[in-house]
Structure formats: C-alpha cells, structure tokens
Structure 1
Amino acid sequence: MADVVAAEWFKLRSVRSTGAVLGVVAGFTALCVLWSWYVARYWDGLSAARRATAMAAPAEQPLAVSLPVCAVVLGALALTPEYSSGMIRTTLAAVPRRNALFMAKAGVAGGVMGAAALAALAAGSAAGAAVVGDRPVATFQGPAAEVAAHLLWLGLTTAAITLAAFGLGAVLRSTAATITSGMAVLFVLPALARLLPSPWDERIWSALPGSLSNQIAGAPGSSGDHGALPPPAAAAVLAGYVVVALGAGAFAFARRDA
C-alpha cells in the first residue's frame, strides 16, 4: 500500500494542474495580507465612536472563500483526467487492486489539499495579525487557542471537500462534469435554498456542503450567516457527505470497466 501511495503522490505532484491549484492557494494567501493592510488603513481612518461598532472579516477570509473551490478542482483532477486520456488502463494494469488504488488516490489528494490549506491559513492569519498589529480589531485579536481551532477546522473542511469531489469524479468520470457539479453544490444550491419559505430555507441551507465550513469553525449555537447547526452536527453532516461520495466512487471505480 505504501508503494501505491508513493506512486500516486509522485503522479499528482508531477502534473501541472496541481501546481496551478496550489499557486492559486498561494495567491489568495498573499491576498490575505492585502486585505489585512486595507483593514488597518480603514481602522486608522475611523473615529473612536465608529471603531466601537466597526466590523471586518478576519485575515483568512480570502482563503475561506477560495479554498472550497480549489478543493473541488483538485479533487476532480486527481482522477478524471486519467479517464479522458486512457491512462487509467495503464494505472490499473500496474495496480490491479482497485480498492487500494482508489483509497491511495483519495488519500493523496485529500492530504495534499488539506496540508496546503492548513499552511496557507496559518500563514495568512499570522501575516494578517502582524500587519494589523496592536489595533484592537475584534476579528484579528481572538484567543490563540480559538483561532488555532478555527483554522484547523477550515483546513479539515477543505480536505473533506476534496475527498467528496474525488468520489464524485469517480462516479461521473468527467472533469468538466465533476467541477461543474461541485460548484453548483457549493454556490448554486445555497442560493436556491434561501428562496424557500421559512424555516426550511435556513434548515436546508445549513445542511448544504458549502454552508458547513463556517458552522464547524464558528461559535456553538451561531445562527444567521453561520447557519443553524452546532459545530458537532455540522461536522457530522460533512463527514456524511464524504462517506457517501467516497462510497459511491469506490463502488463505481471497482465495478465499472475502465
């Protein structure tokens, strides 16, 4: 199994698309610094009265928005191009144990995206705190343990979305279809859910994959923009999506012809 994982790691890091996705992550990390600089300049221009009520998104917000997109893309590209190019036949000839191959591919994709997300989030948050300095901006001055837990959950959520997209790719076998479906689930379905009558709009919106990250990493019992689910329930729902997607993907990968 270790040899299969090593081979899949070499394959994933050798393709240009992986470097492009990680480059986007690095670009949004730099954008965190630019956002923090803007917040600092904006804060300096506020009066004392307005500072008491001023709100600003945290330093890692650009990454929180972009990482799910990068996760869908990397998850799709970890498998579907092999079907379009026919390389999947060569891969299966080298590793005929399909279940082991599927899990190795999924583990490498999820691990790479999760590690990149955690590194970027830590760098963006630390750089933002350094740029803002001692200005008492609430979203930049949280307790270290809470900030670390928040960033950890964002990174783990990114890895989970990568795994879900990978499983979806194994079912659809199309890069375009997988990425389009993933983006629709992340961004289109939440908007449609908001059109439903209350309380179903909030309930369904809160259970969609694109809405779970803030609920997992947010404060317990938060509502409104965060959603109606407490962090444990949101984490359980996200795990359910991963299990279902990987289960369906593993079944399709093992049963269907290459």
Structure 2
Amino acid sequence: MSHVPGHKAALRLPVPATARFRHLLAAEWIKLWSLRSTYLVLAGGALAVIGINVNSAVSNAAHLSEQAASPSEPPGIPDLPEYAFDALHTAFVDPAWQLLMIIAATVGAIAVFGEYTSGLIRTTFAAVPDRRAVVAAKATVVSAVMLALGTFVSGTSFGVTQAVLREHGGLSLGDPGALRAVTASALIAPLCALVGMAVGALIRHAAGSIVAVIALLLLIPTLLQGDRFRWVKEIGNAMPLSAWRWLVTNPARAHAPGPYPPTTTGAWLVYGGWAVVAVAVAMIVVRRRDV
C-alpha cells in the first residue's frame, strides 16, 4: 500500500460486536444455574410445598373416613358439628405457599445482589453497558424458571391432593374456582421472584434483602387484615398474599365477605401491577446507582 505524504494512515480498530438479547439470556441462564444451591433450593422447596399439601389431603381423608365409619350418636346426645372441609383449600395450604413465595423471592434477590457482592456486576456492565437490557434479561430468565417451578408445584399439588380425596369430593380442573386457583398459585412464584429482584437491587445485601422480602410479602399483609378502617383493608387487598388468598378461595364454599372485600379482577390487577412496578424499580435502581 503506497503512502501519500502529508496524510496519516487511518487506524482501523475492530468494532466490538453488540451483545444481542439472546446472548444476555444465555449469560443469565448460566449465572443462575452455576450455583449448586439453585438446584437444592428449588428442588427442596418444591418437594416441601407439595409434601405439606399432600399431608393435608391425607390427614383430611383419614378424618373423613373415620367420620363416615363412626356410628350415629345415641338418642339424647346432640349431633356434633359437621367437619368443615374444602377439597380445594387442601391443595393450597397457606404455610406451604408462603414458603414458596419466600423461596421465589430469595432466588430473585440473589440474582441481583449476588453479582454485586461478588463483584461480577462490574464485568457484566463492562461487557454490556446497557444496564436496562441486563435487568430485562435477568427478569426474563428468573420469571421463566419460577413460572416453570410454580406450574409444576401448583399442578402437582392439585392433582395429587384431589386424587387422595377422590372418595371425599375431590375436584377436577373443570370445577368452579379450580383452574383459577391453580393458575394463581403458578403465577405467584414468578411474581415474588420479580419482587425479590427489586428488593435485591435496592438493598444489595443478602440478609437485609431476605428480611425485607419476608416483611414485604408476609408480615405487612398480616398487619393489614383489619376491617375497621377502609384504607387499611384496601392496602391489604393490594398485597400479593391477599390477592393469592382470594384467587384460591373456593367459590362454592366462600364465606360471606366482610366490609371492603377484594374482587377477582382486582386480585389479578394486583398481580400485574406488582410485576410491572418490581421490574421498573429494578431497572431504575440498577441504572442510576454506581456498582
């Protein structure tokens, strides 16, 4: 190549390839599953939730069988109150699904604060300066994994418990409220994972994030169950736990609601609203705060 006097040869630097979103998804997938604890937490949590629900079904089935086999009360003795039993509730025992909510939120929080505590976030942002794309990829991967987990746990819990109760009024997905309950329980896992991501982005500390998600998802809804003040009840209805409880309620056995009851449409809006706000908070915080 000839050199022209008075002109400097142009220095051509290689242009770095822009990371496509599918590459970010692959990277976040590898990060999530690179920890052995991910397998243990998700598998152990799934088995624990299903086990609690199935144990409830077995216990109820045994009680109902004993009640059916017992002789009628002798004359002069008042009849004992009928055993209150709800086959749908047996598949969605409160403590079991609260456990799933905390597991999902913890995994979501770890996906964010884990990179900050290890320092890996600097490498991530050096490779991909678009922080919003990184958060979007994290949210997509975590939500997909938690949706798969929630669907498996919800479907298995419902199927096994209703099979155990088949002689005592076990339900199918076609019964009123059943499909809604299964869907709501499947979706609560990705929802809580997104909330955990937002909390992890805000706090960036393991113990603090876990304490915060427990308080936000479980303790605050418990404190907002009173019916005396409308604003207290309305805030309580806007919490994910309260929305889930309403969506898994059996319409055929629902008690008369107190003042300011939740609605099914409102409960689904709570799901959507919390998911959108959680992703927005994570994006804003990660974008504006230094690593």
TM-score by length of 2: 0.78
* Pairwise CA distance, 1:252: 1.4
Question: Which is worse superposed, 39-48 or 101-110?
Answer: 39-48
Which range is displaced more, 29-38 or 160-169?
A: 29-38
Could you tell me whether the CA contact under 8 Å between 2:149 and 2:189 is conserved in 1? Answer: no
Match 1:197 to one of 213, 224, 228: 228
- Partner of residue 25, structure 1: 46
Between Structure 1 and Structure 2, which shows a larger proportion of helix residues?
1
Which residue number corresponds to residue 89 of structure 1?
A: 122
Residue in structure 1 matched with residue 17 of structure 2 by the alignment: none
Cα distance in 2 for partners of 1:195, 1:214 equals 15
Measured after TM superposition, the shift of residue 6 of structure 1 is 1.4
Map of 1:231 onto structure 2? 264
Could you say what secondary structure the match of 2:90 adopts? coil
CA distance in structure 2 between the aligned counterparts of 1:128 and 1:196, rounded to whole angstroms: 33
Aligned amino acid, residue 229 of structure 1: P
Map of 2:142 onto structure 1 = 109
Q: Which amino acid aligns with 2:22?
A: A
1:17 Cα offset (Å) = 2.9
Identity of aligned residues (%): 28
Q: Contact 1:43–1:51 at 8 Å: present in 2 too?
A: no
2:171 to 141, 158, 161: 141
Unaligned runs of 5+ in 2: 1-20, 73-78
Partner of 1:45: helix, strand, or coil?
helix
What residue number does 1:176 align with? 207
Shift in Å at residue 77 of structure 1? 1.1
Which stretch of the first structure deviates more once superposed, 242-251 or 140-149? Answer: 140-149
RMSD over equivalenced CA pairs, Å: 2.6
Which deviates further from its counterpart, 17-26 or 53-62?
53-62
Q: Secondary structure at the match of 2:167?
A: coil
Residues 48-81 of structure 1: CA deviation (Å, up to 9, x unaligned): 8769552243223254332211121111111111
Contact 2:153–2:186 at 8 Å: present in 1 too? no
1:161 paired with 2:181, answer: no
Q: CA deviation at 1:166?
A: 0.7
Contact 1:185 1:209 in 2 (8 A): no
**How far apart, CA to CA, are the structure 1 residues paired with 2:107 and 2:278?**
15
1:224, CA displacement in angstroms? Answer: 4.7
2:63 pairs with one of 42, 47, 53: 42
Which structure: larger Rg?
2
Alignment partner for residue 11 of structure 1, among 31, 35, 40? 31
Q: Structure 1 pair 186/253, CA: closer, same or farther in 2 (3 Å)?
A: same
Q: How does 1:215-254 map to 2 (within 5 A)?
A: 215-218=246-249, 224=257, 228-254=261-287
Match of 1:71 among 95, 104, 107: 104
The CA distance in 1 between the partners of 2:256 and 2:210, in whole Å, is 29
- Residues 113/171 of structure 1: CA separation in 2 closer, same or farther (3 Å cut): same
Q: Tell me if the contact between 1:21 and 1:73 (Cα under 8 Å) persists in the aligned partners.
A: no
Moved more, 95-104 or 198-207: 198-207
Aligned to 1:60: 92
Counterpart code for 2:261: A
Q: C-alpha distance in 2, partners of 1:90/1:155?
A: 34
Q: Measured at CA, do residues 247 and 223 of structure 1 come closer, stay the same or move farther in structure 2, by a change above 3 Å?
A: farther
Contact 1:25 1:70 in 2 (8 A): no
Deviation at 1:241, TM superposition (A): 2.2
Cα distance in 1 for residues equivalent to 2:161 and 2:110? 31
Distance change in 2, residues 1:224/1:190 (3 Å):
farther
How many residue pairs get aligned? The number is: 254
In structure 1, the gaps of 5 or more residues are none
- 1:105: how far off? 0.5
Whole-angstrom CA distance in 1 between matches of 2:40 and 2:226 = 36
In structure 2, relative to structure 1, the CA distance for the partners of 1:223 and 1:65 (3 Å cut) is farther
Could you list the per-position Cα deviations for residues 102-147 of structure 1 after superposition, in whole angstroms to 9, with x for gaps in the alignment? 10011111111111011111112111122222222xxx32552642
Contact 1:29-1:123 within 8 A present in 2 as well: yes
* Alpha-carbon distance in 2 for matches of 1:120, 1:80: 26
Provide the rounded CA distance (Å) in 1 between the counterparts of 2:27 and 2:80: 56
